[in-house]
Amino acid sequence: MHAVIPYVIASLLFALGVYGVLRRRNAILVLMAVELMLNAVNLILVAADATVRSVLAGVRPEAWAYPVPEPRSGAIFALFIIVLAAAEVGVGLAIVLQYYRLHRAVNLDEVVLDEHDHEKQVTS
């Protein structure tokens, strides 16, 4: 497989996630778009690790300017991002469910952050 293909796919996934965050009004769909962006970053980390390892395969470790990197460090970083994404989904869904319980809607255009703002909207 050519080394550019994962980068192009990851950039398309990230662009699709940015579009989803900017254009969606439903909070759950926005969370899904953020997850799509995080998965694009995971793909870039793993592809970059594989690309660098294949380029440096014939070079002796003594010739490197930096210490020898840990094996599969891109996958290790991707694992940390997966854990953070799971925590983000848990907290985000808890907030969305609590807001739905109070207001019976999860439309982000109608989210009121302050009670004073809510009073201004009701009176006008």
pLDDT at 38: 95
Query: Each residue of 48-66: pLDDT tens digit?
Result: 988 887 777 777 766 666 6
Output 91-99 pairs: Cβ under 8 A, ≥24 positions apart: 92/27, 92/31, 92/34, 93/28, 93/31, 96/27, 96/28, 96/31, 99/27
Considering the entire predicted model, what is its pTM? Answer: 0.77
Angle at 112 between CA 96 and CA 103, to 5 degrees: 50
Task: Please state the separation of Cα 19 from the chain's center in Å.
Answer: 13
- Look at residue 117 and tell me whether its pLDDT is greater than 90: no
Query: Each residue of 89-110: pLDDT tens digit?
Result: 999 999 999 988 988 888 888 7
Query: Each residue of 12-26: pLDDT tens digit?
Result: 999 999 999 999 888
Q: Which domains does the chain have, with CATH numbers?
A: 4-123 (1.10.287.3510)
